[in-house]
Amino acid sequence: MVIRHKNDLYRIVEFQHVKPGKGGAFVRTKLKNLKTGRVIDETWNAGESVEMVRLTRQPIQYLYAAGDEYHFMDNETFDQFAVPAELIRPYLPYMLENMTMEALVQDDGTIIDVEFPASVVLLVTEAHDAARGDSAGSITKPVKCETGIELQVPPFIKQGDRIRVDTQTGKYVERAQ
């Protein structure tokens, strides 16, 4: 959910309704500023209203990068547009050309945020063989993927394998088909 608060747009990252034994109930939230990416804590009394911002989801496709802008195409109208790097910086290590994701668009056509998939499949381009006998316990080895991201994976992953990576944590999830 996106709200207007202090003349900026914020996405509600986390919220908790608290009803203490004494006093009135309140709602504790973590809000992420959609322009700056900064996360703040905010508390409201129960029953207080906030201004919700009406957004629509629109499928988009990543085309290419040019300088500090990333170019996308609307999958329905085929219009092309640029998004500043600040808006998608946490996801840059996972972006592949022709990747499909969703844009959150305001009624006036302004793109507010880009929603990435929870996980992506990447090709392992560099992987060293694990030392023989290093399969016990939680042994990992570093690999490099096609986007340039380096991460730790189990020792059985080889160069040329496709792996699923969690875009929130940046960690290996599983071997992909």
| Domain containing residue 78: CATH number | 2.40.50.140
Residue range 126-135: mean pLDDT, rounded = 70
Indicate whether 61 pLDDT > 90: yes
The more confidently predicted of residues 81 and 34 is 81
Rounded CA gap, 64 and 132, in Å?
A: 41
**Cβ pair 72, 81 in contact under 8 A:** yes
CATH number for position 36: 2.30.30.30
Nearest to 60 by CA among 109, 108, 120, 116: 116
Provide the number of structural domains found in the chain: 3
Region 122-133 average pLDDT: 79
Query: Does residue 46 sit in the same domain as residue 59?
Result: no
Domain boundary among 115, 137, 167: 115
Average pLDDT of the chain to the nearest whole number: 85
What is the mean pLDDT of the segment spanning 29-51?
A: 85
Q: Label residue 12 by pLDDT band (50, 70, 90).
A: confident
Q: How far is CA 115 from CA 1, 66, 132, 173, 175, in A?
A: 13, 20, 41, 19, 23
Note every long-range contact of 49-53, with CB atoms under 8 Å and residues 24 or more positions apart, other chains counting. 50/3, 50/4, 50/5, 51/3, 51/4, 51/5, 52/1, 52/2, 52/3, 52/4, 53/2, 53/3, 53/4, 53/9, 53/106, 53/112
Q: Residue 135 pLDDT more than 70?
A: no
- Tokens in use for 27? 């709602």
Among the three residues 52, 67, 82, which one is the final residue of a domain in this structure?
52
Q: Does 39 share its domain with 75?
A: no
Residue 134 has pLDDT above 70, yes or no: no
Residue 137: per-residue pLDDT:
59
What integer pLDDT is reported at residue 131 of this predicted model? Answer: 63
Summarize pLDDT for 151-162 with one digit per residue, the tens.
Answer: 999 888 889 999
In which domain, by residue range, is 104 found?
A: 55-115
pLDDT at 115 over 70: yes
- Range with the poorest average pLDDT among 26-35, 65-74, 132-141, 151-160: 132-141
Place 150 in a pLDDT band, splitting at 50, 70 and 90. very high
| pLDDT reported for residue 73 | 92
Assess whether 59 and 109 both reside in one domain: yes
